[in-house]
Amino acid sequence: MPLMGLERWVNAPFRTKAEATYRSASAAINVGLGIRSQQGTVGYSLESMMINAGRGETAYADLDAIDAALLMTGGVGAGALVAWDTFEDAGEAAGEVLSQ
């Protein structure tokens, strides 16, 4: 039994990264289609991040990425950092695509 607890703890960053990647892709699709999520949700923050990155407003995009990470993880430790890192990568990619 103790191994299951350890296994769950070790795999947590991978699950968080997978969820963050999925949410980033969903937000990118919404931005591409001109759809916005409900304000105050992770999707809305990610969509705002991508829109701001496309406009070159990187400071606002960074704040939106932090907001999304905290909303997604509840602000809990390493998970928030993993989510934020994933969202930052997605924001940079979306910024390059949207600025063209």
36 located within any domain: yes
The pLDDT tens digits of the residues spanning 12-45 come to 678 888 889 999 999 999 999 999 999 999 999 9
pTM of this structure: 0.83
19 located within any domain: yes
Which residues are CB-contacts of 28 (< 8 A; sequence separation ≥ 6)?
50, 90, 94
8 located within any domain: no
Percentage helix, strand, coil for the chain under 3-state DSSP, each rounded to 5: 85, 0, 15
Nearest to 88 by CA among 7, 10, 77, 59: 59
Number of domains the chain contains? 1
Is the pLDDT at 1 greater than 50? The verdict is: no
